[in-house]
Chains A and B, each alone.
Chain A
């Protein structure tokens, strides 16, 4: 893991007052991202406009593509061309990118997509939602894992975008930052720490490991193969077909198909403990539990604190920072046995499914608290909790 040398005019350490959509761009620039390819869509357009201003200022390049499909494909080209690449979109654009995401999973291409979620389906409404969290996991065709993070504040937009780039370079997989329109449009203070304290991870290269071009296996050598970019003399053929570790695609049989797909799945699913993060409060010996993610956690924590103080309810709080791969083992380690699990979401119950799969034998009841088109007010969450428990 090397540090990049910071180009001029990324944010210097200090405190700034930024919009969420702008903070993620600044985080990307500090992470070393130098290519942005995107398409306008509300509520992510501010990120794109900010990128169009900032990228040339630090020597990067910005291009507005003709549609979201082209944007996602351009990310693939830029990544193999040697640059870290980014785009920001919303639900409808995210749907268009799924074929390219599938290709990125199979070819193990690092890339970061920020989804500023809005209400759906289809054009829906330009208000906040968390309705794409399942699409992030299963929207692409075929088996194959992805990584998705859920920021809950503008500071998170900055920090988690850097983490998204680190994860995508480390695991050679697409990583999504699943924000909501609320966080995208919010203005909050952001603290940029001293640059030495920010960890930046670069992709492992065969040159660094002393592997010569004639011995190089583009999808071999290790759980996460070292990645040679184009233009470095390694004659890499980037493909979406199931392949052997050397990239051969003609010796096809079902065993190769299985081996290839299984290897991709295991690369991430067997390393969940190294990838996934959750935040917990009040979970020691709690009798009930509230699990949330994204911007909902801002109001949910208020509700939890109030319920504990006002009615003495032993309510624990878990915030999923990583949505996928789903931290099932970590959750089961924390939750030994509770009575009721509350899951407030800005959708009709999506993360409820993996949570129920993980905890059904460890709780009596799971209660979903949906809110469509608007962020849950603490009072609303509280009213549902009191309705259930008292």
Chain B
């Protein structure tokens, strides 16, 4: 997958990746490149169609100067708004948005639910590490009740979001949750998400070994042990996190619907007040 990365730029080296040792973000980048490689090979999608957009945070560092693709590293929480603009300008883009649990669930919450509501053709990869990593481990809307973080030194008193449920209720076409310890399922979901005409929301539990104070290997083991794949039932056993595909629907996509308006009304003008 190194062919998809810019190891050197005209003015100096870009690699190694800036992530901490064992960070889940590097793994998600790996899985995403595997998925795009598969799509270029199997579906004939051209490399120029891919567009990687991110907000701000550790997860969002993925869509930066490492990539040999078109990309944007935008402002905190607003990646989906930029993605919407790009798709309105050119519906042919295959947009993948890298975002975090804080970027999506907190500051970007409004853009998140509206992107799902509009069902624009975007694949959202939300790296969930239960906190704000880049800024030092503060608590996020996904931090479990009672957890101690740098801004909840006495334990969090707030309930946590279930981002997948939010996406589903807001109207996303495809919603799934996996972890970095489930590479093949994650890659398969990313491929499915990009193929889906509509909003695909894939939450990926990605380890932050530094702020959780666990080794990367133990965090991956924990992800394997604490998660249970849902098949028929949504409600997991006590203390387990459900993973799997939560919904997979076919709904009208925004650009498809708008194209019908253009086809019907183009060239019919009445000027004046």
Which residues of A are at the interface with B, using a C-beta cutoff of 8 A? 8-9, 11, 16-19, 22, 26, 34-35, 37, 54, 56-59, 61, 63, 65-67, 69-71, 73-83, 85, 99-100, 103, 187, 215, 217, 230-241, 244-251
Q: Are A56 and B261 closer than 8 Å at their CB atoms?
A: yes
* Closest Cβ–Cβ distance, residue A343 to chain B (whole Å): 34
Is B85 engaged at the interface, CB distance under 8 Å to the other chain?
A: yes
For B269, list chain A residues within 8 Å (CB): 9, 54, 57-58
Q: Are A231 and B12 closer than 8 Å at their CB atoms?
A: no
Is B138 engaged at the interface, CB distance under 8 Å to the other chain?
A: no
Contacting residue for A81 out of B67, B89, B111, B114, CB 8 A? B89
Q: Enumerate B151-171 residues with CB–CB distance to A below 8 Å.
A: none
Is B73 engaged at the interface, CB distance under 8 Å to the other chain?
A: yes
* Closest Cβ–Cβ distance, residue B185 to chain A (whole Å): 29
Q: Are A230 and B73 closer than 8 Å at their CB atoms?
A: no
Sorted nearest first, the 10 A-B pairs with minimum C-beta distance are A77-B85, A74-B85, A81-B89, A73-B81, A83-B89, A77-B86, A77-B82, A78-B89, A70-B81, A230-B70
Q: Are B51 and A244 closer than 8 Å at their CB atoms?
A: no
For B145, list chain A residues within 8 Å (CB): none
Known contacts A100-B75, A239-B64; A56/B88 CB under 8 A: no
Q: Which of A78, A236, A241 has the most CB of B within 10 A?
A: A78
Known contacts A73-B85, A74-B88; A238/B273 CB under 8 A: no
Q: Enumerate B220-273 residues with CB–CB distance to A below 8 Å.
A: 254, 258, 261-262, 265-269, 271-273
* Closest Cβ–Cβ distance, residue A35 to chain B (whole Å): 5
Main secondary structure of the interface of B (DSSP, over half): mixed
Which candidate, B3-11, B22-30, B191-199, B202-210, is the interface stretch facing chain A?
B3-11
For B265, list chain A residues within 8 Å (CB): 56-57
Q: Enumerate B59-105 residues with CB–CB distance to A below 8 Å.
A: 63-65, 67-75, 78, 81-90, 92-93
Chain A's closest residue to B68 (CB) is A235
Q: Are B67 and A237 closer than 8 Å at their CB atoms?
A: yes
Q: Are B73 and A240 closer than 8 Å at their CB atoms?
A: yes
17 A-B pairs within 8 Å (CB atoms) are namely A16-B271, A19-B273, A56-B266, A57-B269, A63-B88, A65-B81, A66-B111, A70-B114, A76-B82, A77-B85, A77-B88, A78-B89, A231-B51, A237-B70, A237-B71, A246-B11, A249-B65
Is B215 engaged at the interface, CB distance under 8 Å to the other chain?
A: no
* Closest Cβ–Cβ distance, residue A85 to chain B (whole Å): 7
Known contacts A77-B89, A231-B92, A251-B12; A16/B272 CB under 8 A: yes
Which residues of B are at the interface with A, using a C-beta cutoff of 8 A? 6, 9-12, 14, 18, 47-49, 51, 53, 63-65, 67-75, 78, 81-90, 92-93, 110-111, 114, 254, 258, 261-262, 265-269, 271-273
For B262, list chain A residues within 8 Å (CB): 56, 59, 61
Contacting residue for A73 out of B49, B74, B272, CB 8 A? B74
Question: How many A-B residue contacts, CB cutoff 8 Å?
Answer: 185
For B67, list chain A residues within 8 Å (CB): 235, 237
Q: Are A249 and B86 closer than 8 Å at their CB atoms?
A: no
Chain A's closest residue to B70 (CB) is A230
* Closest Cβ–Cβ distance, residue B170 to chain A (whole Å): 11
Q: Are B90 and A231 closer than 8 Å at their CB atoms?
A: yes
* Closest Cβ–Cβ distance, residue A30 to chain B (whole Å): 12
For B75, list chain A residues within 8 Å (CB): 73, 99-100, 103, 240
* Closest Cβ–Cβ distance, residue A347 to chain B (whole Å): 29
Question: Given A9-B266, A26-B271, list of 18 further CB < 8 A pairs?
Answer: A9-B269, A19-B273, A37-B88, A56-B265, A74-B88, A76-B72, A77-B88, A79-B89, A99-B75, A100-B75, A100-B78, A217-B10, A230-B51, A237-B63, A237-B71, A246-B9, A247-B9, A250-B65
Contacting residue for A247 out of B49, B65, B69, B271, CB 8 A? B65
* Closest Cβ–Cβ distance, residue B136 to chain A (whole Å): 19
For B84, list chain A residues within 8 Å (CB): 37, 63, 65, 70, 74, 77
For B85, list chain A residues within 8 Å (CB): 35, 37, 73-79, 81, 85
Q: Once the chains are docked, how many angstroms separate the CA of A58 from the CA of B47?
A: 30
* Closest Cβ–Cβ distance, residue B217 to chain A (whole Å): 27
Q: Which of B86, B111, B254 has the most CB of A within 10 A?
A: B86
Q: Are A241 and B273 closer than 8 Å at their CB atoms?
A: no
For A232, list chain B residues within 8 Å (CB): 48
Q: Which of B6, B9, B81, B268 has the most CB of A within 10 A?
A: B81
Q: Once the chains are docked, how many angstroms separate the CA of A367 from the CA of B265?
A: 54
Q: Once the chains are docked, how many angstroms separate the CA of A83 from the CA of B73?
A: 19
Q: Are B78 and A70 closer than 8 Å at their CB atoms?
A: yes
* Closest Cβ–Cβ distance, residue A272 to chain B (whole Å): 29
Q: Are A22 and B14 closer than 8 Å at their CB atoms?
A: no
Q: Are A11 and B271 closer than 8 Å at their CB atoms?
A: yes
Known contacts A17-B273, A237-B71, A238-B71; A80/B266 CB under 8 A: no
Q: Are A78 and B65 closer than 8 Å at their CB atoms?
A: no
Q: Are A69 and B78 closer than 8 Å at their CB atoms?
A: yes
Q: Are B89 and A239 closer than 8 Å at their CB atoms?
A: no
Q: Are A103 and B74 closer than 8 Å at their CB atoms?
A: yes
Q: Are A231 and B70 closer than 8 Å at their CB atoms?
A: yes
Q: Are A57 and B267 closer than 8 Å at their CB atoms?
A: yes
Q: Are B10 and A235 closer than 8 Å at their CB atoms?
A: no
Q: Are B82 and A73 closer than 8 Å at their CB atoms?
A: yes
For B74, list chain A residues within 8 Å (CB): 73, 76, 103, 238, 240
For A77, list chain B residues within 8 Å (CB): 53, 72, 81-89
Q: Once the chains are docked, how many angstroms separate the CA of A137 from the CA of B84?
A: 27
For A56, list chain B residues within 8 Å (CB): 258, 261-262, 265-266
Chain B's closest residue to A236 (CB) is B70
* Closest Cβ–Cβ distance, residue B261 to chain A (whole Å): 5
For A17, list chain B residues within 8 Å (CB): 272-273
Q: Once the chains are docked, how many angstroms separate the CA of A81 from the CA of B49?
A: 11
* Closest Cβ–Cβ distance, residue B122 to chain A (whole Å): 11
Chain A's closest residue to B254 (CB) is A63
Q: Once the chains are docked, how many angstroms separate the CA of A238 from the CA of B266?
A: 33
Q: Once the chains are docked, how many angstroms separate the CA of A230 from the CA of B65?
A: 14
Q: Once the chains are docked, how many angstroms separate the CA of A247 from the CA of B88?
A: 26
